[in-house]
A = this chain, B = another copy of it.
């Protein structure tokens, strides 16, 4: 017989969640869920396996060609694990385009898969919160999304010094590259890709990258100036008449007024360097950066994607929304020391008295049942180990209270109740025990 054992590790780049990890995940998910619901968003979901074509059409090229977990099912249908949540969300909206009351405010929490080289803060799987508003053309929807993002960050304990929400509009970039600089379509595409990398390179390298795709001289200078421009400086850089006619410019102007009116401007800032890689972005784009000097980077983002739905039919459905990943968020929370202590949900361990009298075990089960019937989370110790071992077990798991009942307690219908941290012990009538927990005395 072979003694080759299987590996106990999960698939490379993916995570096991032991109970202490799961408590962190549940904490993050519960904040996401509760704040989205508070903003009137409804939860939805869809399968992690999707017909390949849904991603092949619109997710960024890099994702589809090199990062997709794709395969043929046993019926030779080409499928893929979702690498992101937006395309299938839009598929669902298209499926009930006529019936769904608009505006549609939806959120979901789901796992995505990308074949990447695992590294710090990036795995092959990650969870995302996806929140979108469909059916609203005006910036009121984007403002609502910004408000939601700030509310979520606030619930995690983050203030305006810890992160910044940068925004721009793709239509401003089209104005620059197409209407003003009159670059070819190919040059425009290259310019966008290079602009997306601006933050990671020096000004010199940036100009060299532009030169490599044939953008030089005044055009390159204008792009570099644009990248360093504030929103109020734009009229000095771009023709005012074109700006006035540009919906992107008008939308940012109106959005900023709402942000000022509701004191959200302190979290937000216009940044022409925000491009977003996804091929389906077509209006406002935004990205949230950690301001922690040791972890300065993009955490998550969002955008307008009004036309993505048209791969599913001839529809008219404005859309804006964001997706926030759990791995980057967790690094942010750890970096700013915002993660709370998350103890086990079990409140009480009912021990098993190491005695052969079956009535004593029966009494222990009765105690546990009574506490559970009162909504208290109780673990019952099943075997006749030494009490010392059972107490250590509770300590290791972080269970705060221990109940002990032997011959004497059984006789008088009482229990010994120990609070482990305080090393305090008292005798309590069984009939009073549940009250001790539900009335918050302990």
Please give the residue numbers on chain A whose beta carbons come within 8 Å of chain B beta carbons, in ascending order. Answer: 3, 5-12, 14-19, 21-23, 25-26, 37-51, 53-54, 57, 66, 69, 71-75, 77, 79, 81, 88, 91-92, 94-96, 101-103, 105-106, 111, 113, 115, 124-125, 133, 136, 138, 140-141, 144, 147, 151, 258, 261-262, 311-314, 344-346, 349, 361-362, 365-366, 369, 372, 375-383, 392-393, 396-397, 399
**Chain A to chain B contacts (Cβ below 8 Å), 22 pairs:** A5-B312, A5-B313, A6-B311, A6-B312, A8-B91, A11-B47, A11-B51, A15-B46, A16-B44, A17-B45, A18-B92, A19-B44, A22-B43, A37-B377, A38-B377, A39-B377, A39-B378, A42-B344, A49-B125, A69-B74, A258-B365, A261-B365
Residue among B47, B79, B262 making CB contact with A15, cutoff 8 Å: B47
Closest Cβ–Cβ distance, residue A437 to chain B (whole Å): 12
Contact A372 B38 (CB under 8 A): yes
Residue among B14, B71, B79, B344 making CB contact with A47, cutoff 8 Å: B14
- Residue of A51, A124, A382 with most chain B CB atoms under a 10 A cut-off: A382
Contact B397 A101 (CB under 8 A): yes
Contact A40 B349 (CB under 8 A): yes
Contact A261 B362 (CB under 8 A): yes
Contact B18 A51 (CB under 8 A): no
Task: Tell me, in angstroms, the Cα distance from A6 to B56 when the chains sit together.
Answer: 11
Task: Tell me, in angstroms, the Cα distance from A40 to B376 when the chains sit together.
Answer: 9
Contact A73 B79 (CB under 8 A): no
- Residue of A7, A42, A96 with most chain B CB atoms under a 10 A cut-off: A42
Contact A17 B44 (CB under 8 A): yes
Task: Name A79's closest neighbour in chain B (CB-CB).
Answer: B11
Complex contacts, A15 vs chain B, CB 8 Å? 46-47
Complex contacts, A113 vs chain B, CB 8 Å? 49
Task: Name A71's closest neighbour in chain B (CB-CB).
Answer: B71
Task: Name A75's closest neighbour in chain B (CB-CB).
Answer: B115
Task: Name A53's closest neighbour in chain B (CB-CB).
Answer: B6
Contact B369 A42 (CB under 8 A): no
- Residue of A6, A21, A361 with most chain B CB atoms under a 10 A cut-off: A6
Task: Tell me, in angstroms, the Cα distance from A422 to B258 when the chains sit together.
Answer: 35
Task: Tell me, in angstroms, the Cα distance from A113 to B392 when the chains sit together.
Answer: 40
Residue among B11, B18, B71, B105 making CB contact with A96, cutoff 8 Å: B18
Q: A39-B378, A46-B10 are in contact. Are A262 and B369 (CB under 8 A)?
A: yes
Contact A40 B91 (CB under 8 A): no
Contact B66 A74 (CB under 8 A): yes
Task: Tell me, in angstroms, the Cα distance from A372 to B96 when the chains sit together.
Answer: 29
Contact A92 B8 (CB under 8 A): yes
Q: A6-B311, A92-B16 are in contact. Are A377 and B40 (CB under 8 A)?
A: yes
Complex contacts, A372 vs chain B, CB 8 Å? 38-39, 151
Known: A9-B95, A21-B44. 13 other contacts (CB 8 A): A10-B91, A17-B46, A26-B43, A37-B346, A38-B375, A47-B125, A49-B69, A49-B81, A49-B125, A69-B71, A151-B372, A258-B365, A262-B365
Closest Cβ–Cβ distance, residue A189 to chain B (whole Å): 19
Task: Name A81's closest neighbour in chain B (CB-CB).
Answer: B49
Complex contacts, A141 vs chain B, CB 8 Å? 382
Task: Tell me, in angstroms, the Cα distance from A311 to B77 when the chains sit together.
Answer: 33
Complex contacts, A91 vs chain B, CB 8 Å? 6, 8, 10
